[in-house]
Amino acid sequence: MNKINYQKELEKVIQECTCQERVPSLLLHSCCAPCSSYTLEYLSQYFKITVFYYNPNIYPPLEYEKRVEEQKRFITQLPVKHPIDFVEGPYDTQRFYEMARGMEQMAEGGERCFKCYELRLREAAELAKKLGFDYFTTTLTISPMKNAQKLNEIGEALEKEYGVKHLPSDFKKKNGYKRSIELSAQYGLYRQNYCGCVYSYHEMEKRNRCSE
């Protein structure tokens, strides 16, 4: 099976959008400010974006607060063509733990992570449909640690289910990840050293102990 180049698919959509008089709206699920940095710089040229911060996986609560405040700060400081709005979803951690039940011992990057992708993207698709957005997508594909193929497959399935267009992406392409590091340094963004959930937190602690 041929591997899909989701960056090229995104460029096709952008090309179509630039031919329209109206600027399309995009609900962008964001996992954190650093991952949103290049994504917002790039997409805000072509879309009216609302950042949707829905990450019930993040542990502990103080870490959640730190990340959400950093997201808000970055949005206010980034110069953009079209103003960016912000919506914070519920921090319903119990929903995440119910989803992860039975998969607690799985390594990062496996089925538990895929279910977490779906949890967050589903919430984005539901809100995009409810509020009448033209598109929805996520910043998650910018990370070299995240499975862009799986994320796009989930997005495509949710597009069919909810009837709102999923914007294809692989934001790490075109040096997107490198640019996110540059922007993080430029704006002094807090860059966390674990994905966010309690399981990745313990993995990070284990790595730190091994390096001592």
Quick one: pLDDT at residue 212? 65
Q: Is the pLDDT of residue 210 over 90?
A: no
Cα distance between the two ends of the chain: 44
Opening angle at CA 74, ends 60 and 193, nearest 5: 40
* Residue 161 located in a structural domain: yes
Is position 195 annotated in a ligand binding site?
A: no
Is position 19 annotated in a ligand binding site?
A: no
Describe the chain by its helix, strand, coil percentages, rounded to 5.
55, 10, 35
- The overall average pLDDT reported for the chain is 96
Under the banding of pLDDT at 50, 70 and 90, the label for residue 138 is very high
- What is the domain count for the chain? 1
Our measurement of the distance from residue 7's CA atom to the centroid of its chain's CA atoms, rounded to an integer in Å, reads: 15
* Residue 106 located in a structural domain: yes
Is position 113 annotated in a ligand binding site?
A: yes
Q: Is the pLDDT of residue 81 over 80?
A: yes
CATH number at residue 187: 3.40.50.620
d(Cα 102, Cα 115) in Å, to the nearest integer? Answer: 12
- Please write the tens of the pLDDT for every residue from 171-208: 999 999 999 999 999 999 999 999 999 999 998 988 88
* Residue 1 located in a structural domain: no
Is position 197 annotated in a ligand binding site?
A: no
Quick one: pLDDT at residue 206? 85
Contact 74, 37 (CB under 8 A): yes
* Residue 43 located in a structural domain: yes
Q: Which domain holds residue 159?
A: 6-211
* Residue 77 located in a structural domain: yes
* Residue 83 located in a structural domain: yes
Q: Is the pTM of this model over 0.85?
A: yes
* Residue 78 located in a structural domain: yes
Q: Which residues pair with 48 in a beta bridge?
A: 25
* Residue 110 located in a structural domain: yes
Under the banding of pLDDT at 50, 70 and 90, the label for residue 61 is very high
| Average confidence (pLDDT) over 14-39 | 97
Q: Is the pLDDT of residue 79 over 80?
A: yes
